[in-house]
Structure 1
Amino acid sequence: MPRNVTVGLDGSPESLAAADWAAREALLRDAPLRLVHAWQWQPYLYAPLAGVSVPSPLSDPRHDWAERLPRETAARLAERHPGLSISADRVAEQPVTALLAAAEDADLLVLGSRGLSGVTGFLVGSVALSVVARTQRPVVLVRAGGQVANEHPRHDVVLGLGLENSDDSVIAFAFQAASYRVANLNVVHGWNPPPPSYGYGGAFDLERSAELGAQVQHKLADVLRPWRKKFPGVEVNEQAVTGSAASHLVEASREAALVVVGRRNRHTPVGTHIGPVTQAVLHHAAAPVAVIPHD
């Protein structure tokens, strides 16, 4: 099956915004778009007092809506993007199960994320969070009313990069996203300066921090050098910032087309398996966020 951009639909404003974003992304990638709506319709209602199952009415409005949603969304997107190849499927599965299966055949899975407020951040629903934590494919979360990021190709792509566990798949995704958009790539790496040295003055600590900062900046440049050669058309701006990268990535997201972060695969039976930086970016970034799983 050819790879595609897949978007999960549930009829919410967030999922419709995600569908719009996914359609534009599919055009950038010259890839087909697949719409997936997961809904388990129960054709029988149970009457507990009588103890028998009785058929539901033939014209169940919920069933009719589930049938119409992917079809009507596909028609709307086809009208906006005449050259885009679009397919629409309704899957009789639980949403997480269906989306994880759909992601296996996709280059990219796109989901909606609900907004709370500018202060509190954005609520990532349980379905989206479960999919992000478990899938082996890249996932982009888009919120309704947020920046329509890939409509603004001049906006930069932002990459949060950890040097200790950097992975080529995360870096490659960010460079490709910037290349698709003819955009700059801003790379942010967070590091912590050493604690104050006992018995030495502040000047010594400042000098030592400056030396370590230069070393971190040099290492960051080394990691990115082969990617600059591979994508010569992408202008790269790199910065090593003190402290956690999360707040810097959230700040950079205000003028970004896309924020790219990694998620390390952790094969443990419990937990969401999403690191603190990625978690913070998912909840507070103004732009769509791409989460790239890696070993």
Structure 2
Amino acid sequence: MNSRSPAGVVAGVDGSERAAAAAEWAAEEAVRRECPLHLVHAVNTGTVTLSPRTSTAVTDLILRDAEGTLDEALGKLRAAHPALRITGDVVPRDAAEAVLTAAEHAELAVVGTRGHGGFASLLLGSVSLRVAAHSVCPVVVVRDAEPPGGRVLVAVRDERDGPALRFALRAGERTGLPVRALHSWSPAVADVGHMAPMVDEIGEEARLHEQLLARICDPVREEYPDVDFRAGQVSGGTAAALVEASRQAALLVVSRRQPAPHFGLRLGTAVHAVLHHAACPVAVVPL
């Protein structure tokens, strides 16, 4: 049993439909990247608290059942992608920790929005949130529905977002999809009652943001001359703008700005919101 994957794409599976959809997305991405796919099925056997003899028997039964679940997932993916190298492991530990460990040397980690655990009413499970918050490589959170649109959307805030922008452009290059960068900002207006006299100032602020967007995007644009790439700005809340724009996207790319500590998620309001509400898969790129 090897909890660390070969370099490539890592996907978490648990037998749920959402995990199966994430694994299929991961397989398609591994084909595009021409790299292997590694599946991780985690089972936390530490919760078995019966007598030692019974506990061992129950643990063995849990692990055998998990092996069957993994073998089924491997079989389906190998049948659908016969040229793709696919491996897998059952890991007896916490699901998020298992995926994070497997992804330490991976190009990409892929998880579903929710697995079997937790409450059915939740939009996003704790495992997906923890992986997105702590992974050292980019993470894609995949919904069970088909992506609604045909473009790659990337959120751009400032010059630090270069890695997310390049991730999006590489995705556009591999898929042939156009890439759209979206920069959102809120007017610095302290008093709504004084809005009218500040129209010129708002216009100047918009021009400054346009210049900022050009400084961020133009150098990166030159690195991907064959990608249909456009950048635009919108005035308003970042989370709402991204969620709305995701309705026409095949993938939404956002930055995780600060390394998350061991305790706590620290994903930021906008990233947390799009992970819960975006209509398409969301890629979280650590900076």
TM-score when normalising by structure 1: 0.86
Query: Is 1:36 the equivalent of 2:40?
Result: yes
* Structure 2 counterpart of 1:181, one-letter code: T
Residue 173, structure 1, aligned to residue 167, structure 2: yes
Say whether 1:287 aligns with 2:280: yes
Contact 2:63/2:90 (<8 A) preserved: no
Structure 2 residue 20 is the aligned partner of structure 1 residue 16: yes
> Do the aligned residues in 2 keep the contact of 1:196 with 1:205 (CA within 8 Å)?
no
Gaps of at least 5 residues in structure 1 are 116-120
Kept after mapping to 2: 8 A contact 1:21/1:148: no
Task: Give the 3-state SS of the residue equivalent to 2:172 in structure 1.
Answer: helix
Secondary structure of the corresponding residue to residue 123 of structure 1: coil
Alignment: residue pair count: 278
DSSP-derived class of the 2:62 partner:
helix
Structure 1 ranges of 4+ moved more than 3 A = 40-45, 52-63, 196-201, 266-270
State the Cα RMSD in Å. Answer: 2.7
Matched, 1:253 2:243: no
Structure 1 CA distance, aligned partners of 2:129 and 2:280?
17
Which residue of the partner structure matches residue 147 of structure 1?
146
Deviates more, 1:217-226 or 1:263-272: 263-272
Match of 1:156, as an amino acid?
A: R
Name the structure 1 match of 2:67: 67
Q: Describe how 1:1-295 pairs up with structure 2 within 5 A.
A: 2-41=6-45, 46-47=50-51, 53-54=53-54, 57=57, 62-114=62-114, 123-144=123-144, 146-148=145-147, 155-163=150-158, 166-195=160-189, 202=196, 204-266=197-259, 268=261, 270-294=263-287
CA distance in 1: counterparts of 2:102 and 2:29, whole angstroms: 17
Greater helix share, structure number: 2
Q: Secondary structure at the match of 2:15?
A: coil
Which whole-Å CA distance do the structure 1 matches of 2:46 and 2:208 have between them? 61
Larger radius of gyration: 1
**Contact 1:14-1:143 at 8 Å conserved across structures:** yes
Report what 1:118 is aligned to: none
Tell me the distance in 1 between the aligned counterparts of 2:257 and 2:58.
Answer: 47
Aligned AA (1:161): V
CA contact (8 A) 2:37 2:86 kept: yes
User: What is the one-letter code of the residue matched to 2:146?
Assistant: Q
Q: Structure 2: which 5+ runs fail to align?
A: 116-120
Kept in 2, the 8 Å contact 1:147–1:286? The answer is no
Q: Counterparts of 2:212 and 2:171 in 1: how far apart (Å)?
A: 23
- Structure 2 residue identity aligned to 1:24: E
Deviations 1:175-229 (A, max 9, x none): 1111111111111111111216799771x41111111101111210121111111
Q: Which residue of 1 aligns with 2:118?
A: none
The change in CA–CA distance for 1:201 and 1:92 in structure 2 (over 3 A counts) is: closer
Partner of 1:274, secondary structure, is coil
Cα gap change, 1:285 to 1:2, in 2 (>3 Å)? same
Task: Among all aligned residue pairs of Structure 1 and Structure 2, give the percentage whose two residues are the same amino acid.
Answer: 36
Higher strand share: 1
Whole-angstrom CA distance in 1 between matches of 2:57 and 2:6: 39
CA drift at 1:9: 0.8
SS of aligned partner of 1:272: coil
**Distance across 2 between alignment mates of 1:131 and 1:171:** 21
- 1:8 deviation in Å? 0.5
